[in-house]
Amino acid sequence: MVTSTTMDHDIYLFHQGNLRYAYQLLGAHMEQQNGQDGVRFTVWAPNAVKVNVVGTFNDWDGRQHPMEKLNENGLWSTFIPDLQKGTIYKYEILTPHGHLQLKADPYAFSSEIRPNTASVLHPLGHYEWNDQSWMNQRKETNLYESPISIYELHLGSWKNIEPEVFYTYREYADMVIPYVKELGYTHIELLPITEHPFDRSWGYQATGYYAVTSRYGTPDDFKYFVDQCHQNGLGVILDWVPGHFCKDQHGLRRFDGEPLYEYSDPMKAEKSQWGTLTFDFGRNEVQSFLMSNAIYWLKEYHLDGLRVDAVASMLYLSFGKEDGEWQPNEYGGSENLEAVSFIKKMNEAIFEEVPNVLMMAEESTSWPLVSAPTYVGGLGFNYKWNMGWMNDMLKYMEMDPIHRKYHHNLITFSLFYAFSENFVLPISHDEVVHGKKSLLNKMPGDYWQKFASLRAFLAYMYAHPGKKLLFMGSEFGQFDEWKDLEDLDWELLNFEAHASTKQYMSDLHKLYKDHPALWEMDHKEEGFEWVDPNNYEQSIVSFIRNSRADDQLVVICNFTPVVYHDYKVGVPTEGVYEEIFTSDAVQFGGSGQMNEMPLHTTSIPWQGQGQHVTMTIPPLGVSFLKRTSLLEEDKS
């Protein structure tokens, strides 16, 4: 409950842009006043002439429950007795232009099921969590030196009852969690589940920033989903969209009759390529709204991180615009200085309030120090999506192998900047939709070569420095690109190639998690060393991954369908090496060109290393070697 003393202080912080828990001040809250149970409604509408609370409880008659203006900065509030959980309501706002408009509560915790648009009264704090063990463990985890492999998930098209008829969060928990756990992922990342009016926006055009979408159930249902993930050892990340919002009449657009949450300057407000509006990052109350919203999801729903969408669209005034459609900042540049300042302030607040969470920026440009702390000039995120690696590798993998030797730099270039940020390697929903084809179907060649190339690509991805993210369906070789109104093609698992690909992902994750060399030093140069990056003629690269305990893996990747016998590979230490994993194993659908016998080093330098082994290189395959013992003659 907010007392009068704390309320005055919170109001001050709200208007200063520094209120980190604005959702406790604004919105609809069940509390007691003068010994009477009821609901306190508070809304920010500085341009409104009058604001009333309307709903089913008063037959939508605004005259019955007018709100009182608390201050000149536009906060309105009222207390209505005897309202119950589930009450449906909106704000009736008389604009300066004399129009009456109905608006959903920007701070509502729940909403009606589309196409209805009213807010629904739902108190926070009544759910009993059972994830204390996970939350305690999270405090002690070093995120940078831990394995992170993320399963990107769109609930409604992972599996549904029929198109646009969905299961509940609780039902999804019972289906999704065992599946993702069996595959070996460490985290689930959900496409936005904030309330949104249009299914096919996938949640990226929201109206209710504090409301978990009612498509799949209630706030408590979603808390159950997160709780069950944590009890099963899975973290949960939410795709979060502070860059823009949709223009639907019941939402934030011209909330009190004038631009309020959006910029008043159309050049800054309009995101024409998406048909949305940009938040006014320079307005203090909007900063409190967004900063509190990020903290809300992390605190109230125990989420383990946020993937922040379209950061580049926030950073640049010129994003997606032609000359003449934007104006430079006061220094003549294209940077949105207000957004830059807000992003830094937001990240500082988040890590003070909720330490050890993931703040991942989808930032598609070369903006420096995205994942560096603000005190060294960074934006304050702790991870950045590596869009450059993604674009280069997908371009490379789509080529016929015969042409790959002319574009060898696409494999190697990412290592020039791999340690400039804390990177996530993403193969997201954006890469398997709108005619881009599924990850499997991007691969050239015949049926066998497509699956072999997919396995090789995934093995290379998991061996490359950086945390991992893969969109649903790729784990079993979905042939069709993502169909957002249907569910995944689960029937494919009845076919051997797809079933073995799913098993491959499970085994690849086991390899990944069992070997610290593949994740412990992801963000340090000493965690990676080239053996041979230059063999473009055969489209083969080899490298070493290191751990802090000097536990090394040698990785050899062949991106052509040619088998090479008696191939020399430089290795760092003499001894006996074993092939501990190959993407070409028969059980995965491979050709079985394996190195089943131990590989003894020869003390002749090769490829910059002091010794080498001679091995078979599988077609369109990746091999992982590990030294398992000293040379036989050195054993005592």
Active centre residues (catalytic):
309, 362
Could you check whether the bond before residue 219 is cis, i.e. omega within 30 degrees of 0?
no
Task: Give exposure, 74-93, as e/b (b: 16+ Cβ within 10 Å).
Answer: bbbbbbbeebeeebbbbbbb
What angle separates helix 387-397 from helix 447-463, to the nearest 10 degrees?
150
Distance CA 7, CA 13 (A): 10
CA–CA separation, 517 and 528 (whole Å): 9
Q: Is 125 exposed, middle or buried (0-12, 13-18, 19+ CB in 10 A)?
A: exposed
Q: How far apart are CA 456 and CA 109, in angstroms?
A: 45
Which tokens belong to 377? 């000039």
**CA distance linking residue 472 with residue 470, whole number of Å:** 7
Instruction: Specify the pairing of strand 540-545 against strand 27-33.
Output: unpaired
Q: How far apart are the first and last CA of the chain?
A: 73
For residue 69, give Cα distances in angstroms to 37, 49, 103, 362.
22, 10, 17, 40
CA distances (Å), origin 546, targets 106, 166, 461, 530, 629: 49, 45, 16, 11, 17
CA neighbor of 194 nearest in space, from 168, 219, 177: 219
